[in-house]
Amino acid sequence: MRIWGDVLNAAQVQSNFLFGPWKFPGAPKSISLAAVSNLTVNCGVTLEITNSATDPNLPPLPLTFSLPEAPTNALIDPVSGLITWRPLIAQAGSTNVFSVAAADSGQPGLSTTRSFSATVLPVSSPQLGAAALNNGLLGLTVNGMAGPDYCLQASADLISWTNLFFTNPVALPFDWTDTNVNQFNQRFYRVLLGP
């Protein structure tokens, strides 16, 4: 049934008849959120994951991104959808699920969610190379996996440890020199990984 506000001529009646019955509009509109592939990463390596979404409204409404499910210390920019995450040493050897949601401000609003996973590889123990004493300075070489923070500690009694050097090396192995080694009768060294 169609209602017209005036009298139709013969051509308009025929056109109206040929137009056919009214049909219910197609499927409801939805936000399109691009998929993110599953990832593998080392502890300490900062991931930056870009999310892309489009709103079907014309003109498109602004979108807000969120993380309904994510591992500890993962963040998302609510406007750009950029996820940043630096896996902790405690997360080594784990698989972590991310659920990304995008929603518009319409009434009623549209939203959608996609998920992906990030596997954090197991940590390999750092290695201290052979110490070399030269002109009263002790040189050490540290080797290990890229990503984690390295903290070099020293102790005179294997009970109390002091932080000597903290770094997140771009390349491994790296060298470090103890300029205070002559102040101790004995000194022990160890390397800890973080965060």
Give the per-residue pLDDT at 24.
44
Q: Structural domain of residue 94, as residue ranges?
A: 29-120
Q: Kindly report the CATH number assigned to the domain that includes residue 97.
A: 2.60.40.60
Question: How far is the C-alpha of 88 from the C-alpha of 148, rounded, in Å?
Answer: 8
110 and 146 within one domain: no
Per-residue confidence (pLDDT) for residue 17, from 0 to 100: 64
Residues 154 and 89 reside in one and the same domain: no
Quick one: pLDDT at residue 131? 87
Q: Please compute, for residue 100, the number of CA atoms within 13 A of its CA located in the half-sphere on the CB side.
A: 31
Alpha-carbon distance of 59 to 52, in angstroms, equals 17
Query: Which of 46, 73, 84 minimizes the C-alpha distance to 170?
Result: 46
Residue 24 lies in a domain: no
Any domain includes 2: no
- The CA-CA-CA angle for residues 89, 152, 149, to 5°, reads 30
Pair (65, 92) in one structural domain: yes
In a domain, 71, yes or no: yes
This prediction's pTM: 0.77
Residues 6+ apart with CB under 8 A from 54: 31, 32, 60
Backbone angles phi, psi at 102, to 5 degrees: -125, 135
Q: Count how many domains the chain has.
A: 2
At residue 7, the pLDDT reads 79
Strand order in the sheet with 47-49: 47-49, 83-85, 75-76
Looking at residue 18, what is its pLDDT?
A: 59
Q: What six digits make up the tokens of 162?
A: 């002091």
Report the distance separating Cα 42 and Cα 144, nearest Å. Answer: 12
**Whether residue 164 sits in one domain with residue 113:** no
Q: What is the mean pLDDT of each run of 10 residues along the chain (195 residues)?
A: 73 65 58 96 96 91 97 97 97 98 91 97 93 91 95 96 95 94 92 95
* pLDDT for position 26: 52
Residue 16, H or E segment: helix 10-19
Please indicate, yes or no, whether residues 91 and 168 belong to a single structural domain of this protein.
no
Rounded to an integer, what distance in angstroms lies between the CA atom of residue 126 and that of residue 100?
Answer: 35
What pLDDT does residue 124 have?
93
